């Protein structure tokens, strides 16, 4: 099996994350949490097997894509995290607490291949008391 340098780095990062848990500071977590926008807007369309989306998150605009609805939503979330420069050791906690996800109706549209384009708007209403640091 041929392992590329990027794949080896990804494997190493996973092992490091499981063995060496970097310290997470609550104050920093709250700062990163509040750095992310409370709402995002996603306009998407189908391009062959892919769902391509134009995302507006706060003052940032970017494009992402995924194969299928679940992959597309994962990519939207990872793109938002990346656009706002969240450090690696806070990403899992941020995703656990501030996951952007469409409504059930919009998720059904993403899963329905006959729907060629649509959009959704997501508002996160979590407050600091709702957050989980573990």
pLDDT of 37 strictly over 80: yes
Neighbours of 56 (CB within 10 A): 15
CB-CB contact of 50 with 65 (8 Å)? yes
User: pTM for this one?
Assistant: 0.76
pLDDT above 70 covers a percentage of the chain that reads 81
CB-CB contact of 60 with 73 (8 Å)? no
Instruction: Dump pLDDT digits (tens) for 66-96.
Output: 999 999 999 999 999 999 999 988 888 888 8
Q: Compute the average pLDDT of residues 42-67.
A: 95
Give pairs for 7-13: CB < 8 Å, separation 24+.
Answer: 13/88
Which pLDDT belongs to residue 20? 56
């Amino acid at each position: 099996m041929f392992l590329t340098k990027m794949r080896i780095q990804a494997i190493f990062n996973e092992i490091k994350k499981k063995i060496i848990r970097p310290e997470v500071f609550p104050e920093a977590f709250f700062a990163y949490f509040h750095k992310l926008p409370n709402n995002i807007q996603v306009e998407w369309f189908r391009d062959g097997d892919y769902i391509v989306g134009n995302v507006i998150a706060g003052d940032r605009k970017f494009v992402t894509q995924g194969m299928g609805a679940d992959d597309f939503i994962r990519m939207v979330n990872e793109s938002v995290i990346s656009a706002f420069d969240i450090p690696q050791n806070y990403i899992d906690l941020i995703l656990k607490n501030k996951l952007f996800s469409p409504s059930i109706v919009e998720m059904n549209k993403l899963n329905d291949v006959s729907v060629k384009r649509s959009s959704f708007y997501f508002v996160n209403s979590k407050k600091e008391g709702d957050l989980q640091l573990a």
